[in-house]
Amino acid sequence: MAKQKFDYDLVVIGSGASGSVAADIVASAKWRVAMVENDEIGGETANWSSIPSKALLRAAEVYDDAKVQGPQLGLRSGSIGYNYPSVKAYKDAVLRKSGSKSFESYYKSKGITLLKGHAHFISPHEITIERRHISAAHFLIATGSKPVDGKVQGLDKAPYLTPRTALDVIRPPKTLFIIGAGASGCEFANLFSAFGSKVYIADEAARILPKEDQEVSEAIEHMFRHQRGVTPLTHAKVIRIAKIGLMTAVTFLVGSDEHVVKVDQVLLTAGQEPMVDIGLENAKVEHTKNGVKTDEYLTTSTKHIYAAGNVLGRFMYTHTGVYEGRIVANNLLNPKQLISPDYTAVPRVTFVGPEVASVGLSESDCLKRDLRIRTAVAPLNIIARATIDNVTNGFVKVITDKKGLLLGASIVAPHAGESIHELTLAIQHGLSAANVAGTLHAFPTWSEAIRVACAKIK
């Protein structure tokens, strides 16, 4: 970048997963890079989402294992308990170690200018931050997403928790009503039920985790109901919440029947929406409330402005954000060798007990596309690892086309989030179930169930 016409070569709006990766790579190529953040450096994942919630879930997992599994393994765990402020202190220690607080010095060492404030486009090449006008040759919109505002009557008057505030409750509520049974809702149900809360989890969909395969939803619903005392409420539309004394009354409809539940806390996990309110109209960047529109190279309708991460409204995962950030960095640095993202095999993990991990197409995705498929399921209880670890629930399901090429897979098992990457690699590189079944899998590991499931495809 020889021309010095603009203040910066690249301004990245947002310091989350995609923005920080792109800024880092581009700054390494000696571009003049600035990154704008109006909240904590590091964005949602590092500060309020994946990292802190998984730290709390880790404590919940150890506590639940000791309490429930301990006696079955001959351990005395009758007196086990927890101190929630200490659990939160562990979460805070994880946040400190994970580096979100040290990002600032790292970016300075890389020569990236950090600008704090709300960025707003005032023209295609110019933004305003705290009334300071900054111009750049290129921009990357990586503003991420925010929780969807609930459309439930009474939300403006009765207090409720959000995925962000739920991480900082003083103690687990005695009773909790979660609105939304997607991945985030289920993880909070898992967390608080492990610490003894009575949890209700409601969704308008026909099953919890509606984006996963039917078998996955059934397995997790069974686990919630029978091991954790959680009450899953499907086909349930929450219509009203109201504060009554110290409690909150939640009114919901199942069919035409109206039900009321009184709880200590309500948690709203109704999904995420892209943050597009940054004056994109002034930069002539096409967008809707569902996200910024880009071409296959992640370029917006204004050619020098790129977008990556949750603001695209495609996949709301940190790993896809990082991937897209790398692609934007490549396309900025190598305009003659443009690359586009490949979403053939996007792994997704829900951290409940046991973990749920899936990749590629689900069975319903295949049916919608009218694909002729084969499926095979290997229950966990047929492998040695499950017997050793005293785990009875869970399975591996694989989906292939008629020729046996892997299209998708779901795993409900301990460490499913690790095991899924074998199948991710297989799907990404067009391998067949026979290829995976013919690969040696160490004994006794959870991955043996993957080999068994793949071997079942004939």
Partner 1 sequence: MKQTFVLDHKKQSHPFDPLQLHQSIVAACLAVRSYEGEAHQTAERVCKKVIDWLAPKDEVTSTDIRRVAAEHLSVYHPEAAYIYQNLEMMV
Q: Which is nearer to partner 1, 284 or 303 (CB)?
A: 284
Our CB check for partner 1 shows the closer of 122 and 425 to be: 122
Q: Please, what is the minimum distance in Å from the beta carbon of residue 38 to partner 1? A: 8
Q: With respect to partner 1, which residue has the nearer C-beta, 129 or 396?
A: 129
- Minimum CB separation from partner 1 for residue 121, in Å? 9
Cβ(321)–Cβ(288) under 8 Å? no
Determine the angle formed by the axes of helices 318-333 and 17-28, rounding to 10 degrees. 30
Identity of the residue, 127 or 261, whose beta carbon is nearer to partner 1 in the bound complex: 127
**Burial status of residue 370 (CB atoms within 10 A of its CB: 0-12, 13-18, 19 or more):** exposed
How many CB atoms lie under 10 A from the CB of residue 88? 19
Do 22 and 136 form a contact (C-beta atoms < 8 A)? Answer: no
User: Restricting to residues 273-332, which ones interact with partner 1 according to CB under 8 A?
Assistant: 277, 279, 281-282
Residues 424, 193: Cα–Cα separation, whole Å? 31
Within 13 Å, how many C-alpha atoms sit on residue 238's CB side? 29
Q: How many helices (H) and strands (E) does the chain have?
A: 14, 23
| CB of residue 435 to partner 1, shortest distance in Å | 52
First-to-last C-alpha distance (Å) of the chain: 56
**Smallest distance from the beta carbon of 397 to partner 1, in angstroms?**
45
* Site mask for partner 1 (CB under 8 A), range 195-234, x = bound: ----------------------------------------
Indicate the residue among 284 and 369 with the shorter CB distance to partner 1.
284
Does residue 64 contact residue 80 with C-beta atoms inside 8 Å? no
How many residues in the shown chain lie near partner 1 by CB under 8 A? 13
Smallest gap from Cβ 144 to partner 1, in A, equals: 15
User: Structure tokens of 277?
Assistant: 């309110």
* Binding piece for partner 1, criterion CB under 8 A, among 89-97, 115-123, 200-208, 409-417: 115-123
Query: What part of residues 31-90 is at the interface with partner 1 (CB under 8 A)?
Result: 38
Instruction: Identify which of residues 129 and 359 has a Cβ nearer to partner 1 in the complex.
Output: 129
Smallest distance, Å, CB 302 to partner 1?
A: 16
Return the number of the residue (118 or 319) whose C-beta is nearest partner 1. 118
**Cβ at position 285, least distance to partner 1 in Å:** 14
Binding of partner 1 by 336 (CB under 8 A) = no
By C-beta, is 279 or 404 nearer to partner 1?
279
Task: Work out the burial of residue 237: count CB atoms within 10 Å of its CB; fewer than 13 is exposed, 13-18 middle, 19 or more buried.
Answer: middle
CB of 30 to partner 1, least distance (A): 31
Alpha-carbon gap, residue 200 to 181, rounded angstroms: 10
Beta bridge partners of 293: none
Q: Find the Cα–Cα–Cα–Cα dihedral 343, 216, 260, 164, rounded to 10°.
A: -40
Question: 117-156: which residues touch partner 1 (CB under 8 A)?
Answer: 117-118, 120, 122, 128-131
Distances in Å between the Cα of 233 and the Cα atoms of 6, 96, 131, 214, 358 are 55, 37, 49, 16, 23
Nearer residue to partner 1 within complex by CB, 127 or 436: 127
Nearest approach, Cβ of residue 128 and partner 1 (Å): 4
CB atoms within 10 A of CB 277: 12
Which residues contribute to the site for partner 1 (CB under 8 A)? 38, 117-118, 120, 122, 128-131, 277, 279, 281-282
